Amino acid sequence: MTKELLRYFRHKQKDHASETLFDTQCPFCSVQCAMQFVEERVVGRNCYKVIPKDNSTSNGRLCIKGLHAHQHALHTERLQFPLLKRNGRFVRVSWEEALSFIQINFKNIQKEFGNDAIGVYGGGSLTNEEAYLLGKFARVALKTKYIDYNGRYCMSAAAAAMNATFGLDRGLTNKLSEIPHARCIILAGTNVAECQPTIMPYFHQAKKNGTFFIVIDPRETATCGLADLHIKIKPGTDVAFVNGMLKVIFAEGYVDEQFVKERTEGYDELKKHIEQIQLDEMAEMTGIAPEVIQFAARQYATAPTGMIFTARGVEQQTNGYMTVRNFLNLALVTGKIGKIGCGYGAITGQGNGQGGREHGQKADQLPGYRSIENPEHRKYIASVWGVPEEELPRKGVSAYEMIQKIDEGEIKGLFVMGSNPVVSSPNARFVKRALKKLQCLVVVDLFLSETAELADLVLPTSSYLEDEGTMTNLEGRVTWRPASRKRPGEVKHDWEILCEIARVLGKGDYFRFSSAEEIFHELRVASRGGLADYYGITYERLRNERVYWPCPSPDHPGTARLFEQSFAHPDGKARLAVVDNEYQKKQTTEQYPIYVTTGRVLSHYLSGTQTRRSPALASRQIEAFMEIHPNTAKKYKIENNALVKLETKRGYAIVRSKYSYKIREDTVFVPFHWSGFQNINQITDDELDPYCKMPGFKRCAARIIPVVDLERN
């Protein structure tokens, strides 16, 4: 039958009365593309399709992940009922039994070991309402100080650096539509083409406008197609590269003296530091010739406008915080911030990586970017929540440190919502071993993820097609995600689960919500007057527009461009930082002679719990791989498409080799979306950045052994 005839036949058989259409947003990356999901009955079968929908960020575009996201939401492996582990096997239980299990176990643990013996582990894909409620749940219902979330592994370096430099952290200081106005763009450790493909047209437009692109990456990624200059840098040496650029900028007189004088602090110290730096040394450290560093510096400094974007490639390092601070130095000394086409962006990874870090999921934070250690902030939030200020816990520890506290026996029970730390944490074998020590692990998820498999109790939650809420995209723009598809089985929304657990713990009065909108209303009030002020944003507004925060009143238009007149520190000035090259001196060793770096591929998302269950996405990349330069492969006797073992002192992973001339000879690349022996996080570095506690995912020294050798031995 020809395609035309088949189409005609299908049309004739379509039961139009049964067609249902849902407005929603893609659940994956931080662009939050809008779409419509259509269900229809054709020839007696359910058929599904996705129609991209226009909005002012993605302008009607969807990437392959968005087009197929519904495949996981409709997957037969979706959890539909609470599951309790009995004698090592999960059995279906009622919600009453599940809640009673939590009530008894959490209360017993807290009675015996204190409130802080229960930890809470959240996620950057939760809606704003649920992230907010999870923070309140930890502090009010459980009264524990131990709460953190997987965004610690994502945005913490950039967020901490922006806070320290500008006094405020928002992913992009400018709206995306300003990108075509920048005459020089630096993309450092960001593979936009594969991670946020629908924003590429902004960069393509800039290219058409004559923008000069500098792409810094040890690999020639799809994003390098934009590059006029590709800096194929040695992993982890970005600080030295930027110090080299600053050397040139200072030496050749490109500093915007007036801007620096009027709007920054710390210039003299930075100048003194840069004067001591030798360009040749920076070239040696980074593997980039001095002339290339000079050329990059001149291009950026002399362009009339310029933007810098960083992402996990430079941030997921044990000096990620200082690396970002150095990129911000670059923007500040050249005066390229707070104007059209001039700014900085940390391209957020997770769907709600921005909103998820603003309203209380972080260990040291209260809603609206308030600090849990600030007396005024504590007082205000306590008044909104109706609890005595002295009952609010103090700050806890970061995500990976919580795992360490589990291992040490200080945390005995853990509540995980929207995260899969067994796959996504560094040193994953240790993480798995630690979680097994828990007296009680409760996991809320769509699927029996690798973390859920270890749980005592698993609670089924709703998907993006079913769960309404707001998300804040990479621009700092709050978006409303409608969702109205019926939930399968006995699935509940995350926020309903939190309210019900709070009730059985005797704290139901603080969690009397009957809709996401009601929670958002409380969030607005809680954020009022904070740095991330959402007070002026309402569901009514969001049904018609996407609003940039801060937005302090309902008649406020929202703040698209930050720092036009002043920065957010009390004196209005930004802080320059002295950034040394200490970390760059760490090298590979004879035992572990090659750098491993990790990242994403186009068709997968984070730990792959969802995308590995989407046939259309999984089939595009069914397994992990190790991208290796053919010269390196020859050295280690590795054939193309052969199984290899990558090993560090923390463990090993087995993946298939893939020859590529696009990677440095001293580095291999492995994506992180797979579990089991393919999980590359079994070898990644769990040393933490001292400032933001970001683990050093992006560079670890390892050795490669062909699996054939292992078999022979």
Q: Which residues bind ligand SF4 (CB under 6 A)?
A: 26, 28-29, 31-33, 58, 62-63, 65-66, 196-198
**196 versus 316: smaller Cβ distance to ligand SF4:** 196
**67 versus 381: smaller Cβ distance to ligand SF4:** 67
Minimum separation from the CB atom of position 466 to ligand SF4 (A): 17
Minimum separation from the CB atom of position 615 to ligand SF4 (A): 17
Minimum separation from the CB atom of position 672 to ligand SF4 (A): 16
Q: Which residues contact 148 (CB under 8 A, 6 or more apart)?
A: 120, 121, 122, 361, 362, 363, 396, 397, 398, 399, 401, 402
- Cis before residue 554, ω within 30 degrees of 0? no
Minimum separation from the CB atom of position 481 to ligand SF4 (A): 11
How far apart are the C-alpha atoms of 430 and 548, rounded to whole Å?
A: 40
Q: Which residues contact 496 (CB under 8 A, 6 or more apart)?
A: none
**75 versus 521: smaller Cβ distance to ligand SF4:** 75
Which own/partner contact pairs does 600-604 have at CB distance under 8 Å and 24+ positions apart?
600/191, 600/194, 600/195, 600/671, 600/672, 600/673, 601/194, 601/671, 601/673, 602/63, 602/64, 602/65, 602/194, 602/197, 602/222, 603/64, 603/65, 604/65, 604/671, 604/673
Q: Which phi and psi (to 5°) does residue 176 adopt?
A: -60, -35
Structure letter (DSSP) for residue 265: E
Structure token digits, residue 209 = 């406008």
Beta strands in 152-305 (DSSP E): 184-188, 212-216, 229-231, 264-265
**28 versus 385: smaller Cβ distance to ligand SF4:** 28
**33 versus 342: smaller Cβ distance to ligand SF4:** 33
8 Å CB contact between 332 and 576: yes
How far apart are the C-alpha atoms of 521 and 516, rounded to whole Å?
A: 9
**347 versus 683: smaller Cβ distance to ligand SF4:** 347
Minimum separation from the CB atom of position 260 to ligand SF4 (A): 37
User: How many Cβ atoms are within 10 Å of 391's Cβ, its own excluded?
Assistant: 11
Residue 95, helix vs strand vs coil: helix
**144 versus 607: smaller Cβ distance to ligand SF4:** 607
**523 versus 617: smaller Cβ distance to ligand SF4:** 617
Name the strands in the sheet holding 118-122, side by side, starting at the edge strand that comes first in the sequence.
Answer: 89-92, 83-86, 457-460, 440-445, 413-417, 118-122, 147-149
8 Å CB contact between 598 and 680: yes
**126 versus 322: smaller Cβ distance to ligand SF4:** 126
Minimum separation from the CB atom of position 93 to ligand SF4 (A): 35
**342 versus 474: smaller Cβ distance to ligand SF4:** 474
Minimum separation from the CB atom of position 25 to ligand SF4 (A): 7
Question: Which residue number places its CB atom closest to ligand SF4?
Answer: 66
Beta strands in 611-696 (DSSP E): 625-628, 643-648, 651-659, 667-671, 685-688, 695-696
Structure token digits, residue 311 = 């992402």
Minimum separation from the CB atom of position 72 to ligand SF4 (A): 13
Minimum separation from the CB atom of position 631 to ligand SF4 (A): 34
Minimum separation from the CB atom of position 175 to ligand SF4 (A): 17
How far apart are the C-alpha atoms of 183 and 341, rounded to whole Å?
A: 8
User: How many Cβ atoms are within 10 Å of 5's Cβ, its own excluded?
Assistant: 9
**27 versus 189: smaller Cβ distance to ligand SF4:** 27
Residue with tokens 């662009």: 31
User: How many Cβ atoms are within 10 Å of 394's Cβ, its own excluded?
Assistant: 11
**24 versus 684: smaller Cβ distance to ligand SF4:** 24
Minimum separation from the CB atom of position 34 to ligand SF4 (A): 9
Minimum separation from the CB atom of position 667 to ligand SF4 (A): 26
